[in-house]
Amino acid sequence: DGGITQSPKYLFRKEGQNVTLSCEQNLNHDAMYWYRQDPGQGLRLIYYSQIVNDFQKGDIAEGYSVSREKKESFPLTVTSAQKNPTAFYLCASSRAALNTGELFFGEGSRLTVL
């Protein structure tokens, strides 16, 4: 079945460590997104990519990095520079050509900093 796969589902990190969250889609979507979810704040955009080898910062990009070397993959690295990384992270994709605006989401990854 087509969809978006995020891994790992749960991740624990010690302070000062970088971690990478995986996001893979087999929907043949052009655009991919990373959102962060905190209680009471909804979803906030970290980074997005509309095409391979290109990506843009969202509203809260500081302390994060991404790459888009393949259409199917959009990994997110949470660096040690991110001051409050404990959160739920959601990856999404969309088919830019349709311009419907609908995003399809993965099941999310919960990161906890110990």
Residues in the site for another protein, rule: CB under 8 A?
Answer: 31, 33, 35, 40-45, 48, 50, 56, 58, 88, 90, 92, 94, 96, 99-103, 105-108
Closest approach, Cβ 52 to another protein, in A, equals 15
Peptide bond into 8 cis (omega under 30): yes
Q: Which two tokens stand for residue 19?
A: 């971690």
Q: Of the two residues 50 and 73, which places its CB atom closer to another protein in the complex? A: 50
* Min dist. Cβ of residue 27 to another protein (A): 14
49 vs 82 by CB, closer to another protein: 49
Complete DSSP assignment for 3-59: -EEEE-SEEEE-TT--EEEEEEE-S--SEEEEEEE-TTS-EEEEEEEEETTEEEE-T
Distance, in Å, from the CA atom of 84 to the CA atom of 71, rounded to the nearest integer, reads 29
Q: How far is the CB of 97 from another protein (least distance, A)?
A: 10
19 φ, ψ (degrees, to nearest 5): -135, 150
Q: Which is nearer to another protein, 19 or 33 (CB)?
A: 33
Q: For residues 66 and 103, which CB has a smaller minimum distance to another protein in the complex? A: 103
